[in-house]
Chains A and B, each alone.
Chain A
Amino acid sequence: MALIQWTGQIVNDGFVIAGQCLYDVNASHPLYVAYGTGTTAVSAGDTALENEVDRVLATATEETDYVAGYAIIYGQSLVLKASFDITSSITPTEVGVFDASSGGNMLYRAVISSGDRRNLSNGDVWKVEVIIKVEQGT
């Protein structure tokens, strides 16, 4: 087992979700992680995975200087940990973060680069971490 890493993008709807969380007690929180088999490059206007396969409620924690494989994500981060029970042969190619167990709004989408894709089989458990680093902008 080896940790692979990829970078994705906070999409346009994600800015709204994040902004609302700052002030709105009724805001929905981006706590659901999904994967799919789409390979189209991420676009800021994406509102869903290209071909979603499964979605689960993630475990969210706030971390300081989080160690993700060989990388240290310095500062404060929100880490979403998700675990998928694989029921048939599949190669996940995209990951997203949503604010609902189905449908809802997408905060983030990443397409896994071809060299980092895993061929999974029935019975495998695929663990995914999405690290949202919050920091001062320029």
Chain B
Amino acid sequence: MLTSVGISETCKLLGDLSGGLEFAYIAYGTGTKSEASGDTTLESEVDRGLATVELESTLAPRDTVVWYRYFVVEDDVNIAEVGVFNASSGGDMLGRKKLASTVFVGKGSVAYVEFKAMISDGGYSGGS
């Protein structure tokens, strides 16, 4: 789910407005609370890192942004949530996804974490 802060930040980024900062980081955590538009952080963040970002095709060519990263897990963890941010710590959270079921990753393993945002149509315009 996109957050309210993420939507506002998206407006700034589209319009090249002051305060807009690109979303380059992905994080995972262990929080199991459902997503809400008012979320500003993961419920219980464990690790965050610079993401690789690509465009892939879902309903139209290259209409979906995919953030992903391979994390080396330092302790056993049950990954339950993923988020995308515009800073290496703190910052604004574009969106948060609670996984349908938690994923156990053992210490020393590598976890592949991704977040997708599909862009679709909708708009109004006018003139006088």
Contacts and interface: CB of A to CB of B under 8 A. Distances in A.
State yes or no: do A and B come from one complex.
yes
Interface of A: 1-10, 12, 14-16, 18-25, 27, 29-31, 44, 60-62, 68-69, 71, 73, 75-78, 80, 92, 95, 108, 110, 112, 118, 126-137
Given A29-B16, A44-B60, A62-B15, A23 B67 contact: yes
B11 A19 contact: no
Interface stretch (B40-48, B70-78, B104-112, B114-122): B114-122
Q: Pick the 4 closest A-B CB pairs, nearest first.
A: A60-B15, A15-B63, A5-B126, A29-B16
B15 A24 contact: no
B62 A19 contact: yes
Contact of A23 (B60, B63, B65, B119): B65
B60 to A, nearest CB: 5
Contacts of A80: 15
Q: Which size bracket describes the interface of B in this complex?
A: 35 or more
B90 interface: no
B120 A134 contact: no
B74 to A, nearest CB: 26
Contacts of A22: 10, 13, 22-23, 65, 94, 117
Given A44-B60, A129-B126, 15 more contacts: A8-B125, A16-B62, A19-B65, A29-B15, A60-B15, A62-B8, A73-B124, A76-B8, A108-B123, A110-B125, A127-B127, A132-B11, A132-B123, A133-B124, A134-B7
Determine the main DSSP class of B at the interface with A: mixed
B101 interface: no
Contacts of A75: 7
Given A134-B7, A134-B11, A18 B119 contact: yes
Chain B CB within 10 Å, residue with most, of A7, A9, A61, A78: A78
Nearest to B9: A22
24 contacts: A2-B128, A3-B127, A5-B125, A8-B123, A8-B125, A12-B61, A15-B60, A15-B62, A19-B117, A22-B117, A25-B22, A29-B14, A29-B15, A61-B15, A76-B4, A78-B11, A78-B14, A118-B127, A127-B128, A129-B127, A131-B126, A132-B14, A132-B123, A135-B122
A110 B61 CA distance: 20
B53 interface: yes
A1 B10 contact: no
A10 B121 CA distance: 5
B63 A19 contact: yes
